[in-house]
């Protein structure tokens, strides 16, 4: 089962490598990872998606909590939450396909952020499944490049991950 | 305010965290630090002959005393040599701080001479690590490192110090922090009272209970509390390899070590138990055998200070996160206050059953191996003789292999911290430097290094450091002319194809070797000489003695789990199994 785990960690040199190292060292997967400093620059917020059964996820959260640099850990998938990912995609767009791609972008509420003579760069934001669906929707249009930020997320409502 | 260089600050901070002995080896990047050591008298630096041994000795000093061990190594190869020692301490949760020198900051990343990314290389083997970037930060970092190493689940912490940070020409104010606080690190100090209550109720209602206690009881100084609780309940106690001594080996309630080479009675009792109180133990694969067949009818109470140890390999019915000493005494308090009574008839029957197992195959009710005779000295008898000669009071540091298991089985440790071995990582070469660490902590105590002719050669260079620092350890070599444990597996699983476990007459003359280092060497080949030679050995209070004892080359360690299987599936001898 896919899980979204959010980690608040000290914004220190090497703290990211401890998190990443933990996953490879203990044989856990990381499907995506996004990290940046928070409004409090002494802290970084890291969001990662991983796959595992309840037992594995329990161990992952415990092992993350054990890292000295980790301040707090939450499994966002345990409750209602918002998740977003941003994708930039360069696609071959010429002839009749050009209009077709434009229509798909509109349907997915994306934006064309760069227009070349035979290419578009499309920006799509949403849940990962929406991004996957857009790639699917492009059908035969030749994709030249895809870059995704990895998922980030927050809990809905009053609850928040704070020190 | 006093102005000091980074090197001086480092040494001053170490004395402020009460370090008495610093085990180390100098080198280029550590020169400023070594100069600071030269100009002071508070800290005793012990020059070893290899960084691995320096770290093992610091580790064993911590194991023997409960204090934080401290080691100092130079950059590059000094740092990488230290890794085996750090990993050994990490696997056994030993409080230790290792200071590694580093190339100057402006050279980091340039593949400078003796540069290694120590923070990166050591990362999977440390509880935490720091690189110090300014001399102003040294004292606080040292304070944090010692705090982290010694609290919660203990473990090694690395402090990497670039050479420019210790520059003698850059002097800054010295200030040692009065208190260390880390917002991201708050170890649990008490167990959850509701969980403790549930645990007590389950425990008191048990009909076939076993208390399974591990290294956490030793490291957490909870032996007294364990003994009090076990005696109040009259329940059988088994110790893990790391927990030996946490409950007295000669106590009637002790059923021996459990696990791969545990006693028949301990493993069988575990298998049939209805309630297991696991305390400071981690259900290691060398204990459980196949986890899916582990103790099928047991409800498990698991006390550990580290939440990630709980339900890692075996699920716990009642997990309690907290320090073993506090949780155990809370449990005992509840039992006393409510004057709870055990199920006497059931426990009586349980003990009868255990006595029957003890009499049938137990290690301590009868001899389970052929007796020693003439030139055939049994390794088990060497350990029994060691126990007799040292009155069961020696510190026993061991290496890794058959001799380690024989020592664990037959030297009945009555006190915690008496038994010093590398249980988790299983590091050959640990024994001699470990014995040195214990001897430094207790100069008047008998310290034995129980080793094999294989293991001893992995850190044998420290015989020189024993001379230099007057550490009169007694080295007991169970010499079976082979890498015995590997050979045992080759006998049992590889049709006795002895691939690279024999030395083809290349073994050194250990007597001459001892003498070359200025020590005493003794060779024992006859069982009749064993006890008197050992008496003679331990009578030489101020000498390092190597006893090279020829033991039966064909002896195996039994019992031994049949894997994969349950706790009760064991080989009891070469021909007999449960």
Confidence at residue B113, expressed as pLDDT on a 0 to 100 scale: 98
Nearest Cβ partner for A63 among B123, B128, B308: B308
Q: Which residues of chain B does A10 touch, with a Cβ-Cβ cutoff of 8 Å?
A: 184
Q: What is the spatial distance between Cα A89 and Cα A124, in angstroms, rounded to a whole number?
A: 8
Among B148, B184, B307, the residue with its CB nearest the CB of A10 is B184
Whole-structure pTM value: 0.96
A12 interface with B at CB cutoff 8 Å: no
Burial of B442 (0-12, 13-18, 19+ CB in 10 A): middle
Q: Which residues of A touch B120 (CB under 8 A)?
A: 17
Is the Cβ pair B131, A55 closer than 8 Å? no
C-alpha distance from A82 to closest chain B C-alpha (Å): 26
For chain A, domains (ranges, CATH) are: 2-79 (3.30.70.260), 82-152 (3.30.70.1150)
Q: Which residue among A10, A62, A69 places its CB closest to the CB of B308?
A: A62
Q: Can you spell out the DSSP letters for B465-532?
A: HHHHTT---EEEEEE-SB-HHHHHHHHHHSTT--TT-B-TT----HHHHHHHTT-EEEEE-SHHHHHH
The shortest CB-CB distance from B119 to any of A14, A25, A58 is to A14
Query: Is a pLDDT exceeding 90 seen at residue A162?
Result: no
A79 CA: distance to closest CA in chain B (Å):
22
State the smallest CA–CA distance between residue B188 and chain A in angstroms.
12
Are B131 and A13 in contact (CB < 8 Å)?
yes
Query: Quick one: which of A78, A68, A12 has its CA closest to B153?
Result: A68
Do residues A75 and A4 touch, judged by C-beta distance below 8 A? yes
**Are B308 and A69 inside 8 Å of each other by CB?**
no
| CA pair distance B542, B11, nearest whole angstrom | 31
- Beta carbons of A68 and B148 less than 8 Å apart: yes
Q: Is B487 a catalytic residue?
A: no
Is B458 a catalytic site residue?
no
Both tokens of A30, joined, read 């990381």
**Mean per-residue pLDDT, A85-102:** 95
* CB–CB contact B123 A62 (8 Å): no
For chain B, the distance separating the N- and C-terminal CA atoms, rounded to the nearest angstrom, is: 72
User: Is the bond leading into A155 cis (omega within 30 degrees of zero)?
Assistant: no
CA distances from B219 to B66, B175, B394, B478 (A): 7, 31, 19, 28
Say what the pLDDT of residue B1 is.
Answer: 75
Kindly state the tokens that stand for B389. 């000669």
CA distance B308 to chain A (A): 5
Its ipTM equals: 0.93
Q: What's the Rg (C-alpha) of chain A?
A: 18
**DSSP letter (8 states) at residue B306:** -
* Architecture of domain B193-361 in this structure: 3-Layer(aba) Sandwich (3.40)
Please check whether residue A99 touches B, CB under 8 A: no
Edge to edge, the sheet with strand B237-239 lists: B254-257, B237-239, B209-213, B275-279, B299-304, B318-321
Write down the catalytic residue from B2, B18, B106, B113.
Answer: B113
CATH of range B379-557; options 3.40.630.30, 3.40.50.970, 3.30.200.20, 3.90.1150.10: 3.40.50.970
Annotation marks residue B337 as catalytic: no
pLDDT at res. A157: 93
Q: Using CB atoms, which residue from A18, A25, A68 is nearest to B185?
A: A68
At residue A163, the pLDDT reads 85
| Of B423, B399, B546, residue with least CA distance to B483 | B399
Cα B57 to Cα B436, B450, B462: the distances in Å are: 6, 15, 10
Banded pLDDT at A13 (limits 50, 70, 90): confident
B297 Cβ contact partners less than 8 Å away, ≥ 6 residues apart:
B272, B273, B274
Residues of chain B positioned with their CB less than 8 A from the CB of A18: 123
**pLDDT recorded at residue B363:** 95
CATH class of B3-173: alpha beta
Contact B184 A69 (CB under 8 A): yes
pLDDT value at position B432? 98
Q: Could you tell me whether strands B171-173 and B3-5 are parallel, antiparallel, or unpaired per DSSP bridges?
A: antiparallel
Q: Which chain A residues have a beta carbon less than 8 Å from that of B124?
A: 21, 25
| Nearest Cβ partner for B312 among A14, A59, A71 | A59
The per-residue DSSP string of B70-130 comes to: EEEE-STHHHHHHHHHHHHHHHTT--EEEEEEE--GGGTTS--TT---HHHHHGGG-SEEE
Chain-chain contact of B307 with A68 (C-beta, under 8 angstroms): no
> How confident is the model at residue B52, as a pLDDT?
98
Answer whether A29 touches B (CB < 8 Å).
no
- The upper half-sphere exposure of residue B35, i.e. CA atoms within 13 Å in the direction of its Cβ, equals 13
Q: Kindly list the residues from chain B whose CB atom is less than 8 angstroms away from the CB atom of residue A162.
A: none
CA distance to partner chain A, nearest, from residue B80 (Å)? 18
Q: B311, A55: Cβ pair inside 8 Å?
A: yes
| B311: contact with A, CB 8 A cutoff | yes
Interface residue A26 vs chain B (CB under 8 A): no
Q: How confident is the model at residue A1 (pLDDT cuts 50, 70, 90)?
A: confident
Chain A, 38 to 77: residues with Cβ < 8 Å from chain B are 55, 58-59, 62-63, 65-66, 68-71
Which of the residues B48, B51, B254, B487 is marked catalytic?
B51
Among candidates B120, B124, B308 on the partner chain, residue whose Cβ is nearest the Cβ of A66: B308
Q: Which residues of chain B have pLDDT under 50?
A: none
Report which DSSP code applies to B26.
-
Active site residue B113: yes
Give the A:B interface size as CB pairs under 8 Å.
36
Using alpha carbons, list the distances in angstroms from residue B94 to B48, B73, B157: 20, 18, 10
Q: Where in chain B is the domain with CATH 3.40.50.970?
A: 3-173, 379-557
Q: What is the pLDDT of residue A106?
A: 97
Q: Which residues of chain B does CATH 3.40.50.1220 include?
A: 193-361
Annotation says B270 is catalytic: no
Give the tens place of pLDDT for each residue, B433-462. 999 999 999 999 999 999 999 999 999 999
């Amino acid at each position: 089962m896919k899980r979204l785990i959010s980690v608040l960690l000290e914004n220190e040199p090497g703290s990211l490598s401890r998190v990443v190292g933990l996953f490879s060292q203990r044989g856990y997967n990381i499907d995506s990872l996004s990290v940046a400093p928070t409004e409090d620059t002494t802290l970084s917020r890291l969001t990662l998606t991983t796959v595992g059964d309840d037992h594995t996820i329990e161990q992952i959260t415990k092992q993350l909590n054990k890292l000295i640099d980790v301040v707090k850990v939450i499994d966002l998938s345990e409750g209602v939450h918002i998740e977003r990912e941003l994708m930039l995609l360069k696609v071959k767009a010429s002839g009749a396909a050009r209009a077709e791609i434009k229509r798909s972008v509109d349907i997915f509420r994306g934006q064309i952020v760069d227009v070349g003579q035979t290419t578009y760069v499309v920006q799509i934001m949403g849940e990962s499944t929406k991004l996957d669906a857009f790639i699917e929707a492009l059908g035969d249009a030749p994709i030249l490049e895809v870059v995704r930020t990895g998922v980030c997320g927050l809990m809905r409502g009053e609850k928040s991950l704070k020190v | 305010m006093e102005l000091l260089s980074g090197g001086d600050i480092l040494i001053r901070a170490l004395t402020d965290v009460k370090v008495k002995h610093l085990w180390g080896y100098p080198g280029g990047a550590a020169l400023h630090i070594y100069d600071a050591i030269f100009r002071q008298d508070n800290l005793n630096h012990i020059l070893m002959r290899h960084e691995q041994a320096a770290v093992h000795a610091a580790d064993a000093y911590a194991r023997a005393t409960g204090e934080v061990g401290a080691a100092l190594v130079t950059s590059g190869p000094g740092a990488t040599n230290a890794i085996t020692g750090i990993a050994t301490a990490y696997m056994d949760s030993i409080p230790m701080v290792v200071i590694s020198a580093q190339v100057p900051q402006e050279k980091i990343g340039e593949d400078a001479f003796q540069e290694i990314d120590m923070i990166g290389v050591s990362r999977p083997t440390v509880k935490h690590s720091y690189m110090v970037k300014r001399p102003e930060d040294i004292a606080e970092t040292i304070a944090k490192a010692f705090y982290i190493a010694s609290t919660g689940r203990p473990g090694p912490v690395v402090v990497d110090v670039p050479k420019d940070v210790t520059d003698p020409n850059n002097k800054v104010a010295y200030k040692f922090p009065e208190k260390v606080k880390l917002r991201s690190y708050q170890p649990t100090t008490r167990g959850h009272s509701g969980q403790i209550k549930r645990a007590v109720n389950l425990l008191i209602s048990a009909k076939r209970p076993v208390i399974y206690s591990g290294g956490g009881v030793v490291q957490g100084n909870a032996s007294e509390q364990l003994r009090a609780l076990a005696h109040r309940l009259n329940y059988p106690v088994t110790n893990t390899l790391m927990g030996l001594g946490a409950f007295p080996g000669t106590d009637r309630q002790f059923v021996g070590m459990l696990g791969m080479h545990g006693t028949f009675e301990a493993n069988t009792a575990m298998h049939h138990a209805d309630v297991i109180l696991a305390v400071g133990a981690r259900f290691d694969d060398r204990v459980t055998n196949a986890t899916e067949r582990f103790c099928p009818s047991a409800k498990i109470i698991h006390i550990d200070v580290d939440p990630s140890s709980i339900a890692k390999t075996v699920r716990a019915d009642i997990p309690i996160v907290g320090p073993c000493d506090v949780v155990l005494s809370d449990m005992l308090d509840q039992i006393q206050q409510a004057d709870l009574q055990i199920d006497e008839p059931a426990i009586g029957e349980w003990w009868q059953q255990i006595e029957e197992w003890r009499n049938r195959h137990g290690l301590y009710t009868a001899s389970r191996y052929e007796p020693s005779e003439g030139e055939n000295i049994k390794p088990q008898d060497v350990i029994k003789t060691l126990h007799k000669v040292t009155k069961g009071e020696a510190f026993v540091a061991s290496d890794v292999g058959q001799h380690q298991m024989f020592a664990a089985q037959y030297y009945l440790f009555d006190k915690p911290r008496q038994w010093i071995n590398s249980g988790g990582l299983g590091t050959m070469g640990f024994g001699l430097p470990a014995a040195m660490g214990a001897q430094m902590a207790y100069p008047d105590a008998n310290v034995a290094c129980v080793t094999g002719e294989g293991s001893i050669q992995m850190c044998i260079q420290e015989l020189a450091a024993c001379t230099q620092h007057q550490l009169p350890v007694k080295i007991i070599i169970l010499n079976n002319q082979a890498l015995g444990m590997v050979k045992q597996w080759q006998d049992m699983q590889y049709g006795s194809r002895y691939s690279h476990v024999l030395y083809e007459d290349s073994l050194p003359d250990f007597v001459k070797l001892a003498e070359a280092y200025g020590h005493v060497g003794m060779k024992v080949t006859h069982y009749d000489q064993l006890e008197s030679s050992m008496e003679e050995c331990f009578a030489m209070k101020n000498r390092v003695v190597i006893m090279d004892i020829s033991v039966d080359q064909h002896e195996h360690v039994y019992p031994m789990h049949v894997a994969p299987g349950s706790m009760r599936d064991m080989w009891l001898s070469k021909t007999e199994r449960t």
